Amino acid sequence: KQEVTQIPAALSVPEGENLVLNCSFTDSAIYNLQWFRQDPGKGLTSLLLIQSSQREQTSGRLNASLDKSSGRSTLYIAASQPGDSATYLCAVSGGATNKLIFGTGTLLAVQP
Protein backbone atom coordinates (compact mmCIF):
# COMPACT_ATOMS: atom_id res chain seq x y z
CA LYS A 1 0.00 0.00 0.00
CA GLN A 2 1.40 3.36 -1.06
CA GLU A 3 2.24 5.76 1.77
CA VAL A 4 3.35 9.34 1.26
CA THR A 5 5.19 11.29 3.94
CA GLN A 6 6.21 14.93 4.03
CA ILE A 7 8.93 16.47 6.15
CA PRO A 8 8.89 18.85 7.89
CA ALA A 9 5.28 19.07 9.05
CA ALA A 10 5.69 22.79 9.61
CA LEU A 11 8.30 25.35 8.65
CA SER A 12 8.75 29.03 9.45
CA VAL A 13 11.33 31.09 7.57
CA PRO A 14 12.13 34.78 7.14
CA GLU A 15 11.25 36.40 3.87
CA GLY A 16 13.87 35.98 1.13
CA GLU A 17 15.16 32.59 2.22
CA ASN A 18 15.42 29.66 -0.14
CA LEU A 19 13.78 26.53 1.23
CA VAL A 20 13.25 22.86 0.47
CA LEU A 21 10.21 20.74 1.22
CA ASN A 22 10.55 16.98 1.19
CA CYS A 23 8.22 14.21 0.09
CA SER A 24 8.84 10.49 0.25
CA PHE A 25 6.75 7.57 -0.99
CA THR A 26 7.03 3.86 -0.30
CA ASP A 27 6.11 2.36 -3.69
CA SER A 28 8.27 3.57 -6.56
CA ALA A 29 5.82 2.30 -9.20
CA ILE A 30 4.19 5.68 -9.69
CA TYR A 31 2.71 7.27 -12.78
CA ASN A 32 3.41 10.84 -11.75
CA LEU A 33 3.94 13.09 -8.75
CA GLN A 34 2.32 16.44 -8.13
CA TRP A 35 2.89 19.31 -5.75
CA PHE A 36 -0.14 21.32 -4.66
CA ARG A 37 -0.67 24.44 -2.63
CA GLN A 38 -3.63 24.78 -0.24
CA ASP A 39 -4.57 28.02 1.44
CA PRO A 40 -6.57 27.82 4.70
CA GLY A 41 -10.12 26.66 4.10
CA LYS A 42 -9.59 26.50 0.35
CA GLY A 43 -9.21 23.88 -2.35
CA LEU A 44 -6.00 22.79 -4.02
CA THR A 45 -3.94 24.60 -6.61
CA SER A 46 -1.66 22.44 -8.72
CA LEU A 47 1.88 23.80 -8.77
CA LEU A 48 3.98 21.25 -10.62
CA LEU A 49 3.44 17.80 -12.12
CA ILE A 50 6.36 15.49 -12.79
CA GLN A 51 5.85 12.44 -14.95
CA SER A 52 7.57 9.26 -13.77
CA SER A 53 10.04 9.52 -16.66
CA GLN A 54 11.06 13.07 -15.73
CA ARG A 55 13.60 14.24 -13.16
CA GLU A 56 12.38 17.75 -12.49
CA GLN A 57 9.97 20.52 -13.40
CA THR A 58 10.30 24.25 -12.94
CA SER A 59 7.77 27.06 -12.72
CA GLY A 60 8.98 30.51 -11.77
CA ARG A 61 10.57 30.37 -8.32
CA LEU A 62 9.52 26.74 -7.86
CA ASN A 63 11.53 23.69 -8.79
CA ALA A 64 10.44 20.13 -8.10
CA SER A 65 12.68 17.12 -8.46
CA LEU A 66 11.83 13.45 -8.56
CA ASP A 67 14.01 10.46 -7.74
CA LYS A 68 11.67 7.61 -8.37
CA SER A 69 14.07 4.83 -7.46
CA SER A 70 14.64 6.21 -3.98
CA GLY A 71 11.02 7.28 -3.55
CA ARG A 72 11.75 10.96 -3.00
CA SER A 73 10.76 14.34 -4.30
CA THR A 74 11.74 17.83 -3.24
CA LEU A 75 10.08 21.17 -3.81
CA TYR A 76 12.54 24.04 -3.86
CA ILE A 77 11.17 27.55 -3.35
CA ALA A 78 13.58 30.36 -4.15
CA ALA A 79 13.48 33.80 -2.54
CA SER A 80 10.44 33.03 -0.41
CA GLN A 81 7.73 35.67 0.03
CA PRO A 82 4.97 36.07 2.65
CA GLY A 83 2.48 35.21 -0.10
CA ASP A 84 4.03 31.75 -0.28
CA SER A 85 2.61 30.98 3.16
CA ALA A 86 0.29 27.98 2.75
CA THR A 87 0.18 24.22 3.15
CA TYR A 88 2.08 22.33 0.48
CA LEU A 89 0.92 18.84 -0.40
CA CYS A 90 2.58 16.26 -2.57
CA ALA A 91 0.62 13.45 -4.15
CA VAL A 92 1.54 10.43 -6.21
CA SER A 93 -0.58 8.54 -8.67
CA GLY A 94 -0.16 5.03 -9.89
CA GLY A 95 -1.73 1.64 -10.21
CA ALA A 96 -4.61 0.61 -12.39
CA THR A 97 -6.92 3.44 -11.34
CA ASN A 98 -4.36 6.24 -11.21
CA LYS A 99 -5.76 7.51 -7.93
CA LEU A 100 -3.93 10.28 -6.09
CA ILE A 101 -2.40 9.42 -2.74
CA PHE A 102 -1.65 12.54 -0.74
CA GLY A 103 1.06 13.26 1.76
CA THR A 104 0.48 14.79 5.14
CA GLY A 105 1.48 18.27 4.04
CA THR A 106 3.97 20.91 5.13
CA LEU A 107 2.60 24.10 6.65
CA LEU A 108 4.86 26.94 5.50
CA ALA A 109 4.94 30.36 7.12
CA VAL A 110 7.11 33.04 5.55
CA GLN A 111 7.68 35.90 7.97
CA PRO A 112 7.90 39.43 6.55
Partner 1 sequence: GAVVSQHPSRVICKSGTSVKIECRSLDFQATTMFWYRQFPKQSLMLMATSNEGSKATYEQGVEKDKFLINHASLTLSTLTVTSAHPEDSSFYICSARSGGDNEIFGPGTRLTVL
**Is residue 94 within 8 Å of residue 25, measured between CB atoms?**
no
Q: Which is nearer to partner 1, 27 or 79 (CB)?
A: 27
Choosing from 17, 42, 58, 109, the residue that interacts with partner 1 (CB under 8 A) is: 42
Select 79 or 109, whichever has its Cβ closest to partner 1: 109
Q: Which residues contact 33 (CB under 8 A, 6 or more apart)?
A: 23, 25, 49, 50, 52, 64, 66, 73, 90, 91, 92, 93
With contacts defined by CB under 8 A, name the span among 13-21, 36-44, 62-70, 71-79 that binds partner 1: 36-44
Exactly one of 95, 99, 109, 111 binds partner 1 (CB under 8 A); that residue is: 99
By the rule CB under 8 A, 44 interacts with partner 1: yes
